[in-house]
């Protein structure tokens, strides 16, 4: 478990330490799922786990439930050894607890542990359920000696999920899918800036409904002054422009600031102003008259940088452990 935490630190460590820069700290208990929704999908006789418009059908899985049922029967009939029974009981208790945490009946626990609200949706815990049920399925296979039953279970798992095998990349990507994206999900929260903080004093859930971001017509706007801007390149982590400033310019890059964004003007780092009145959160900067090469890049903060080193080092350590075990087994076999 320790190695697992270290291996995934590239993701969770920045999320934990940099959440203070986001609005998620204001979010309350997540959305819950009913028990009926977890057990059965309402689409295509229960066999389709996604609606025609992309709606999620958040079910545990029919094959998973059958595996858990068989697992309980084997556990009651004491088909496991003493050590296996302890492990099996731990899996079963974990399964029940995680399912409970997905249901609205667990809202009290979520409220008491406010940090859990960052999950946004309790059904994200289904990923843990999938690991538990996969382990359970592996255990029951070791106890079932009837090959016909095993084959039947595998066929059921295939046939009950086959409608969901389509490749989503076959659906053309909607280029305007983020036009109505909520400000809440992208705007930088700076609690040291009083004007910025006052904007968040209202109920954040109501704030989400009120603030629907207007999609900008251009990737970069000239707020003040006279000049021209030519877009050279634009990716999620890099924006590149040529700017011809005929007078002193104030420009606004229509990207919400977050720690890691860096502005270079003719390869020289320039300060970004994300506290500009009426443009809070956007990246505003000044240019004197002249011709400039502008590059915005999203780079790793120290937290992200070192978390990647931790994950990479752990991955290397795991490879070394696996190799040492492999060669030890070979040596023992030869001996």
205 close to 28: Cβ distance less than 8 angstroms: yes
| DSSP bridge partners of 256 | 282
Q: What are phi and psi of 18, to 5 degrees?
A: -110, 5
Quickly state the pLDDT bin for 223 (edges 50, 70, 90).
very high
pLDDT for position 245 = 95
Q: What are phi and psi of 16, to 5 degrees?
A: -70, -45
Segment 284-300, tens digit of pLDDT: 999 999 999 999 999 99
- Least trusted range by pLDDT, from 133-147, 157-171, 192-206, 293-307: 192-206
The pLDDT of 118-147, averaged and rounded, is 88
Q: Is 271's pLDDT higher than 90?
A: yes
**Please, what are the domains in the chain?**
19-167 (no CATH), 220-298 (2.60.40)
- Which H or E element spans position 63? helix 62-76
Q: CA 220, CA 230: separation in Å to the nearest integer?
A: 10
Distance, first Cα to last Cα, the chain: 33
225 close to 209: Cβ distance less than 8 angstroms: no
- Least trusted range by pLDDT, from 110-124, 204-218, 255-269: 204-218
Q: CA 113, CA 115: separation in Å to the nearest integer?
A: 6
Residues 6+ positions from 110 with CB-CB distance below 8 Å: 29, 30, 101, 116, 117, 122
pLDDT for position 200 = 56
pLDDT for position 31 = 77
The pLDDT of 69-79, averaged and rounded, is 92
The pLDDT of 308-318, averaged and rounded, is 96
Secondary structure (DSSP) of 219-254:
SEEEEES-EEEEEEEEETTEEEEEEEESS-EEEEEE
**Closest Cα to residue 139, out of 81, 61, 100?**
81
Quickly state the pLDDT bin for 248 (edges 50, 70, 90).
very high
Q: Is 278's pLDDT higher than 60?
A: yes
Q: CA 203, CA 211: separation in Å to the nearest integer?
A: 12
């Amino acid at each position: 478990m320790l190695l697992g935490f270290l291996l995934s630190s590239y993701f969770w460590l920045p999320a934990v330490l940099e959440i203070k820069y986001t609005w998620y700290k204001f979010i309350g208990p997540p959305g819950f799922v009913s028990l009926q929704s977890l057990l059965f999908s309402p689409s295509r006789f229960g066999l389709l786990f996604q609606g025609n418009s992309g709606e999620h059908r958040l079910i545990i899985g029919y094959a998973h439930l059958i595996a858990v049922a068989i697992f309980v029967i084997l556990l009651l009939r004491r088909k496991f050894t003493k050590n296996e029974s302890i492990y099996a009981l731990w899996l079963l208790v974990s399964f029940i607890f995680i399912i409970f945490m997905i249901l609205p009946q667990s809202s009290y626990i979520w409220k008491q542990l406010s940090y859990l609200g960052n999950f946004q949706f309790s059904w994200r815990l289904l990923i843990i359920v999938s690991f538990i049920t996969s382990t359970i399925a592996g255990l029951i296979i070791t106890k079932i000696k009837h090959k016909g039953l095993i084959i039947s279970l595998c066929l059921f798992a295939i046939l009950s999920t086959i409608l969901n095998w389509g490749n989503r990349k076959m659906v053309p990507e909607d280029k305007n899918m983020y036009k109505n994206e909520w400000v809440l999900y992208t705007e930088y929260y700076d609690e040291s800036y009083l004007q910025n903080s006052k904007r968040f004093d209202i109920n954040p859930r109501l704030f989400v409904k009120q603030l629907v971001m207007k999609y900008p017509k251009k990737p970069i706007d000239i707020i003040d002054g006279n000049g021209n801007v030519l877009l050279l390149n634009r990716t999620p982590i890099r924006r590149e422009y040529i700017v011809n400033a005929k007078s002193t310019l104030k420009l606004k890059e229509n990207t919400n600031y977050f720690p890691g964004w860096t502005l270079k003007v003719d390869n020289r780092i320039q300060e970004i102003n994300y506290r500009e009145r009426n443009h809070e959160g956007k990246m505003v900067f000044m240019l004197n008259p002249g011709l400039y090469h502008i590059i915005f890049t999203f780079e790793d903060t120290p937290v992200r940088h070192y978390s990647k080193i931790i994950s990479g080092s752990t991955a290397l350590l795991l490879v070394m452990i696996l190799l040492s075990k492999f060669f030890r087994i070979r040596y023992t076999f030869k001996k």
